[in-house]
Amino acid sequence: MDGTQTVITDPASGQDKKFAFDYSYWSHDGFTEQANGYFAPASAKYADQQKVFDDLGRGVLDNAWEGYNCSLFAYGQTGSGKSYSMIGYQANKGIVPIACEDLFKAIEAKKPEMKAGEEYQVSLSMIEIYNEQVRDLLVSKTVKGGLKIRQHPNKGFYVEQLTTSPVSSYAQIEAKIAEGSHNRTVAATNMNATSSRAHTIVAISFTQKTLDGSGQSMTRSSVMNLVDLAGSERADSTGATGDRLKEGSAINQSLSTLGNCIKALADQSTGNSKVVVPFRDSVLTKLLQNALGGNSKTVMIAALSPADINFEETLSTLRFADRAKAIKTKAVVNESPTDKLIRELREENQRLMEMLKSGGGEAVSSSGSGGGDGEGSEEAEERMRELMKRNQEEMEAMERQWAEKLAQAQAESQAQIRDKEAVGERRKQQPHLWNLNEDPSLSGLIVHFCEPGSHTIGREAEFQLRGISILPQHATLNNSSDKVTLTPQNGAKVCVNGREVVQETLLNHHDRVLFGNNHLYVFDNPKAAAPSPSPIPTFEAAQAELAENSGVMGLLGDKAKSSSAEDMLLMDDLVKLYPQVQEANAMSEELDRRVRFELVLMSPQGRGLRENEGRTEVYISLTNLDSGNEFFWSKDKFSDRKYLMRDMYQNYMEGESWKLPQEKDPFWEPADSPLLIGTCHVYLQSLAYLIEVAESFSVTDFRGEDQGKLEIELRPCDSEWRELGEEFSEPDDVIGQAINFKVKLNKGHDLSPKYAAYYCQYKFYLEDEFTRTPEASKAVNPQFKFEKKYTFKPVTKQLMDYLQNSYIIVELWGRQKDSGKKSSKTTKELMQGDKPKQGAVGDSRPAPAGAAAASAEAKNLKSELDTLKQKSERNEQKIKQLQTLVNEARKSGKDVLQVDKVDKILSATAASSARPVVNKGGKGGAAAAGGGGKSGSSATKAEEKRSEAMGKSTSAACSIQ
């Protein structure tokens, strides 16, 4: 960070990328912690919370006083500091609390000068957008399907029936936000929702009622939208590309649409007026239309992670912010006479009433107060009635005394504050459980106190928990003299400190307790706490503990002890995905979906890539428990499918219709979905010497297991596409000349009979697209009979280097058979009887990196040995031909050999009249004559020996993979 410039360095290439913004802040280090916990700057480089507020927040507050709508966005990947900038942490207050405190201080300062009829009104609303559904966080009850979004002809989109609470101090705002966060946590835990995939909008409405010079009452209003967006790393699910259900999941829709809107607005700002901004494509962008491109002054904070392992996500965030800075909004002061506002609302209601009487639904649609096209008259009438209701509420709010509304709200807020303080005091004295959440701001919001005696936990128990794998009576807590024990009921899943328990267990201070799949708590016993405080458990540490005790970290092998960036990312993925896979299995079991999920690791080679083209990735194996068919999903595809599974499970829990057609079932994968069976590496060095290759190459899967063989040929040819014979040429002689050859994929053998069809594909040299064979439907030994011709004229040094040092990766793909059989057993019974194929979790890891490198090196050496043997054998053939020429000359009594005959034998590359390589003497002409490469018993034996050597060496090389 240097002034207004942000510089990011690519850890792979070392190249810098520079971005310029209005402000660039560094807050990762360079501070000292004061006695009250505030992080004060230790150097000029560090930007503390007060500096960020002075630069950004004060402008937002000043604009609110002037009557402008304001918006403050926080964008960035999960854990990068969005919430820290917006809300802060302990003594380090963020923009929101400082702005609210200053707002109420200014109101208090103005009160002594206020005239009769003048007042300042502040109110707050809080919503969450999750999976394209809007939830009011200030009410505990969840509306099925979420709140509706309506459109006002003048004010734009709004949330229908949204709670707006009057407040008179920041303490009340804090209490309301805490209430909203508590409701959010309870709902997210019960629905298995993920907080990092949700957007939160806190809207603070500020209304100033003052008298102008003529004594007329004037109303100036402003709305401050404080938006905490979902983690930006979730926006792009490239791994799910091509998934048939990708569009069915709305979980990523808001962020992707936000990106599209910002791009379109940026294009408009450059003069491209034809661009259409897709505000209507998502709930988030509808509600933020004014903030993005309308009546608002907007600030965007892009939070960045300084870790090099997050380079791609950080670069993506910077590019997003770079586009956003080009957007121009048109903010206006929201001020008009109060009486005029009331009169306009009454007039609009009268107009709507007349339209209702005359059945004028179309007029409402055209006025823009409705939703999409093609709606019926009933829907139009409903919209009109809702708009009338909203107008009536606004009129009543303006006419009703603010003091009356504020008094009612204050009474509620004071009760909430007292309850919060009481809970805090009880937590200091009494044993209790408090929740852990991936979002630290949502941890500790749910508290269950362990009173003396026995208490039940479950769906229908004293401490109610809902969600996957929670039984009606799940476990029992017993407090005897402040010693608390936990006893799981039969069949209940309970883990303590990462280990599953099945009998009564004594809970110690700071023990981590997991009920079911996603109810994670920490047990606190203040009276048993150690004199010196121990570290407070975190969500990440608890998840790592669960993964470690499950054995899933055994997938890493020696990598588990590594501290490299790549291996740390791998460990992080395993820790995050393990509970999600457990959750998916629990849903499959409860809904009887007849599939099982497992974690597997795939190296780049196992995915058909070269060694340096990627890193080892975590994939999810899906096994159909009826047919035994196995499929592999990327983590992004699995994540998107899992949200659809949650929707399905939620409908099941609520007694709604939950079963879907097979093609829409997120648990189902068609049997004929293409599956990468394995790969083989075909080294090309022989082509550099114009020597053919004809071998059966072993196909190995990502686990290193042999899946069968592919018969592949590389055949050098002349200009007429006749295959060359038993000669060879030096690579240096081929450079600058033409080369012709064929790649043949003949057939497969020893393949699994579970596949109904097969095909192969590969890329050669600079090809961007795969060359693919037709599908062969014959099981076990499919006949591809595929041939592709390649001509390069002239041969460049780059191509020759490729031939001498590289290989093509031939991928074998298959479509599995659908037996159509279904077991009479349930999914739970099938899971218990059919353990994962790998036995121990650790057996599903790919071959170690060192072994893979050794394998590749061995293959290369074998290929070189192959070529040398063939060159040696072909030199022997030439010597035999010369010997035959000498013997014939002696029999004829000649002492001299003709130079051109000797030259033809030495320089010939094939038994062809058109050699692709010209000899050093510049002579073309016919190929070797006389004895011939295959005449005589010695030549035949040499050929047999050569073929035997080639077969052994090449096959051995491929078997190592």
Binding-site residue set for ATP? 76-83
Q: How many CB atoms lie within 10 A of CB 842?
A: 16
CA 249 to chain centre: 13
Residue-wise DSSP of 395-457: HHHHHS-HHHHHHHHHHHHHHHHHHHHHHHHHHHHS-EEEE--SSGGGTT--EEE--SEEEEE
Q: Decide: helix, strand or coil at residue 946.
A: helix
Contact 897, 885 (CB under 8 A): yes
Q: Which of 506, 505, 485, 502 has its CA nearest to residue 493?
A: 502
- Could you give the CA distance from residue 646 to residue 146 in angstroms, rounded to a whole number? 16
Q: Decide the pairing of beta strands 5-9 and 16-20.
A: antiparallel
CA distances in angstroms from 559 to 562, 576, 604, 917, listed in the order given:
5, 17, 16, 50
For 163, 310, 348, 363, the CA distances from 392, given in Å and listed in that order, are 16, 51, 10, 20
Is the Cβ–Cβ distance between 788 and 808 less than 8 Å?
no
3-state SS, 36-101, equals CCCEEECCCCECCHHHHHHHHHHHHHHHHHHCCCEEEEEECCCCCCHHHHHCEECCEECHHHHHHH
**Largest alpha-carbon pair distance within the chain?**
137
DSSP 8-state assignment for residue 658: -
**Structure-block tokens of residue 463:** 């401490």
Which residues does 372 contact at the CB level (< 8 Å), separation at least 6? Answer: 280
CA distance 631 to 598: 11
Residue 674 to residue 775: CA distance in whole angstroms: 11
- Residues 6+ away with beta carbon under 8 Å from 257: 278, 281, 282, 284, 285
What is the number of residues in the chain?
Answer: 961
Please tell me the distance from the alpha carbon of residue 600 to that of residue 596, in angstroms, as a whole number. 13
| 950/237 Cα distance (integer angstroms) | 46
Using an 8 Å Cβ cutoff, are 83 and 177 in contact?
no
What CA–CA distance (Å, rounded) separates 302 from 21? 10
d(CA 681, CA 663): 36
What residues are paired with 740 via a beta bridge? 717, 791
* Residues annotated in a binding site: 76-83
Instruction: Determine how many CB atoms are found less than 10 A away from the CB of residue 885.
Output: 19
**Using CA atoms, how far apart are residues 356 and 339, in angstroms rounded to an integer?**
26
Bridging pattern class, strands 771-772 and 783-792: unpaired
Of 199, 156, 424, the C-alpha closest to 290 is: 156
HSE of 548, CA atoms in CB hemisphere, 13 A: 10
Cross-strand pairs, 475 = 457, 488
| Beta pairing partners, 601 | 618
Annotate 848-879 with b (16+ C-beta within 10 A) or e (fewer). Answer: ebeebeebbeebbebbeebbebbbebbeebbe
H/E run at residue 906: helix 899-907
